[in-house]
Amino acid sequence: MTSQVLYQEPIEEAIASLETWIDNHRQSNLFREYTFSSRSLALLLLQKDPSLWSALKQDEEQCREVEIVLTVAQNKLEYPVNLAIAQTRQQQARRLESIVLQETKRTQTSLTETLHRFTVNPLTGFPLLVVILYFGVYKFVGEFGAGELVDRIEGFYEGQINPIVNQITAQIIPWQSLQDLIANDYGIITLGIRYAVAIVLPVVATYFLMFSLLEDSGYLPRMSLMLDRLFKSMGLSGRAVIPMVLGLGCDTMATMVTRTLETKRERVIATFLLSLAVPCAAQWGVILGLLAQKPAALMVWGGLITAIFLAVGYITAKLLPGSSGGFYMEVPPLRLPKLRNILTKTWIRMKWYFWEILPLFIWASVFIWIGRLTGLFEMIIRGIEPLVAAIGMPPETAPVFLYGFFRRDYGAAGLFDIQQQGLLTGNQLVVAAIVLTLFLPCIAQLQMMIKERGLKTTIAMVLFIVPFAFLTGYCVNLGLTLLGVNL
């Protein structure tokens, strides 16, 4: 027999009467599917377990019976029933721990302890946060991943693979239109796979590598506690820091992880901000690459997106009813990450990501092909050209916004192509980058939003995001023109 915890007298009395009551109702709909013992179910009822009580409430008679038992017990106790129960367990646990756990030496301040202090002390912690973001995100992912790596892989792809593909297709497929499906400017291999492999993958890989490192070292919870106050102003808590940082890698993954947030309100705000103002790695990586030569343009883009993130968060928090959940988080010890674990994790995430986006990129190529063949695309592009012109863009960018609908990063990658041709001014680049960042999330993220938040909420968010993105683009363009700024 296993040892049971004995609770205070009034609680044991309540358990006894509830146990009898449960045993009598064991076959009812309420308890039939439960595997727990009657004693355990009685304790759950006494602790006001939300799901058991909501089931119980369907029958007012039953509900009253249980409530009476609970009230009788409560009146005899000094503390609330659930606190009394927890205390008894805790005392028993502590007693048992003192029997079975021996501390042989006093722990002295170790290196990890010193490091921990360094990460959470405001005087050192905030500068450290900035340093990590600068080197980890900007230098490593931005300059190395999105700059160096993309340049090389892209250069190799365009220089070595595309000509061969074009040549082979030209030889084996006699029809020009079918050749265009596979090769040439918009082909599956020359455009779809090239975007995925040469532009998106290097950025995402470097970001996930960096994220895994932060994850395994135990730094992320420390980041959460450092940023809790800032996030509170947006109706979120420090808990939302992890999804947001993950969102800078992949918004789809991040939307799924918003599940760890406590209140529905927090989850809605986090999902909304992720889809509006948190660009994924592929997207900001490409944008960083685009704007790298123009530091002022980069500052305008970064500053504006951050400002929108904070302002929209602040306003949403004011408008949405309810309060933000409290912040509590265990802070695990700092650990030296194991290289193997980091590589495995990065690999798994990349694999997931790659297989998630590759079909979309291929489909996009196919749609573009069909669209161009039937002239449908021309029509749509014609249709959005005035819109594009309104935000000061050359007509060549219209397709980019159309592609951006398939995936935000696909749009960004298209922008990359146009910029390579030298068609855009600094102002136009900034406006396009801003609109594409704010614009609709990719299809995968939309699916995840519907799954996690429901169709209605998702539609409401989309209905806000699309006009907002273009309106912001319009305002920025107007502002820059009026001020006579040339970035």
Partner 1 sequence: MNALSTVTIGQSQTVVHLATDQQNVMRKLMALGIMPGSSLVLEQRFPSYIIKVGHTRTALDGETAASIFVE
Partner 2 sequence: MNCHQCPKNNCTNQKSPGWWKLFRKTPRALELSSQDAQIALVGMPNVGKSVLFNRLTGIYVTVSNYPGTTVEVSRGLAQIGEQNVLVIDTPGMYSLVPISDEERVARDLLLKTSLTAVIQVVDAKNLGRMLPLTFQLIEAGLPLLLAVNMMDEAHRLGLKVQQKALAVELGIPVILTSAALNQGIDELKSALAKCLPSERVAIPA
Looking only at residues 326 through 365 of this chain, which bind partner 2 when binding is defined by CB under 8 A?
A: 329-330, 332-333, 335, 337, 341, 344-345, 348-349, 351-352, 355-356, 358-359
What are the backbone dihedrals phi and psi of residue 110, each rounded to the nearest 5 degrees, phi first?
-105, 180
Contacts of 399-403 with CB under 8 Å at 24 or more apart are 399/368, 400/432, 400/436, 401/435, 401/436, 401/439, 402/377, 403/364, 403/368
User: Residue 43 binds which one of partner 1, partner 2, none, with CB within 5 to 8 A depending on kind?
Assistant: partner 2
**Nearest distance, CB of residue 169 and partner 2, angstroms:** 25
If one asks whether residue 158 binds partner 2 (CB under 8 A), the answer comes out as no
The window from 68-76, 144-152, 246-254, 304-312 that contacts partner 2 (CB under 8 A) reads 246-254
Residues binding partner 2: what is the number (CB under 8 A)?
71
Tokens describing residue 463: 């209905």
- Whether residue 176 contacts residue 166, with contact meaning beta carbons closer than 8 Å, is answered with no
Residue 253 or 291: the one with the smaller Cβ distance to partner 2 is 253
Contacts of 105-113 with CB under 8 Å at 24 or more apart are 112/333, 112/334, 112/335
Class of residue 330 by CB neighbours under 10 A (exposed 0-12, middle 13-18, buried 19+): exposed
User: Residue 232 binds which one of partner 1, partner 2, none, with CB within 5 to 8 A depending on kind?
Assistant: partner 1
- Amino acid 32 reads R
**Nearest distance, CB of residue 294 and partner 2, angstroms:** 34
Residue 155 or 359: the one with the smaller Cβ distance to partner 2 is 359
Contacts (CB under 8 A) with partner 2, residues 207-236: 215-218, 220-221
User: Residue 79 binds which one of partner 2, partner 1, none, with CB within 5 to 8 A depending on kind?
Assistant: partner 1
- Whether residue 190 contacts residue 169, with contact meaning beta carbons closer than 8 Å, is answered with no
**Nearest distance, CB of residue 245 and partner 1, angstroms:** 16
**Nearest distance, CB of residue 371 and partner 2, angstroms:** 22
Sign for the CA dihedral angle at 308, 311, 316, 319 comes to negative
**Nearest distance, CB of residue 99 and partner 2, angstroms:** 6
Residue 211 or 231: the one with the smaller Cβ distance to partner 1 is 231
Residue 218 or 411: the one with the smaller Cβ distance to partner 1 is 218
**Nearest distance, CB of residue 118 and partner 2, angstroms:** 17
Cα(135)–Cα(67) distance, rounded to whole angstroms?
Answer: 58
Residue 36 or 328: the one with the smaller Cβ distance to partner 1 is 328
Residue choice 101, 111, 172, 483 for contact with partner 2 (CB under 8 A) = 101
- Whether residue 193 contacts residue 362, with contact meaning beta carbons closer than 8 Å, is answered with yes
Comparing CA positions, the residue from 308, 283, 278, 304 lying closest to residue 406 is 283
User: Residue 348 binds which one of partner 1, partner 2, none, with CB within 5 to 8 A depending on kind?
Assistant: partner 2
DSSP 249: T
Cα(480)–Cα(431) distance, rounded to whole angstroms?
Answer: 10
**Nearest distance, CB of residue 86 and partner 1, angstroms:** 4
If one asks whether residue 13 binds partner 2 (CB under 8 A), the answer comes out as no
Q: What does each C-alpha distance from 95 to 91, 110, 308 come to in angstroms?
A: 6, 28, 53
Residue 55 or 320: the one with the smaller Cβ distance to partner 2 is 55
User: Residue 296 binds which one of partner 1, partner 2, none, with CB within 5 to 8 A depending on kind?
Assistant: none
**Nearest distance, CB of residue 325 and partner 1, angstroms:** 8
Contacts with partner 1, residue ranges (CB under 8 A): 48, 79-80, 82-83, 86-87, 90-91, 94, 116, 120-122, 125, 221, 224-229, 232, 237-238, 262, 325-332
- Whether residue 179 contacts residue 170, with contact meaning beta carbons closer than 8 Å, is answered with yes
User: Residue 123 binds which one of partner 2, partner 1, none, with CB within 5 to 8 A depending on kind?
Assistant: none
Tokens describing residue 420: 């390579």
Distance of CA 416 to the CA centre of its chain: 24
Residue 209 or 400: the one with the smaller Cβ distance to partner 2 is 209
User: Residue 3 binds which one of partner 1, partner 2, none, with CB within 5 to 8 A depending on kind?
Assistant: partner 2
**Site pattern 287..326 for partner 2 (x: CB under 8 A):** ----------------------------------------
Residue 52 or 225: the one with the smaller Cβ distance to partner 1 is 225
Contacting residues for 43 by C-beta, under 8 A, at least 6 apart: 15, 85
Sign for the CA dihedral angle at 353, 358, 361, 363 comes to negative
Residue choice 93, 230, 376, 379 for contact with partner 2 (CB under 8 A) = 93
Query: What does 343-360 look like in DSSP terms, one character per residue?
Result: HHHHHHHHHHHHHHHHHH
Query: What does 426-471 look like in DSSP terms, one character per residue?
Result: HHHHHHHHHHHHHS---HHHHHHHHHHH-HHHHHHHHHHHHHHHHH
The window from 100-108, 138-146, 271-279, 415-423 that contacts partner 2 (CB under 8 A) reads 100-108
Residue choice 27, 54, 100, 176 for contact with partner 2 (CB under 8 A) = 100
Which residue's entry shows tokens 């039937």?
374
Cα(31)–Cα(50) distance, rounded to whole angstroms?
Answer: 15
Cα(188)–Cα(190) distance, rounded to whole angstroms?
Answer: 6
**Nearest distance, CB of residue 221 and partner 1, angstroms:** 7
If one asks whether residue 47 binds partner 2 (CB under 8 A), the answer comes out as yes
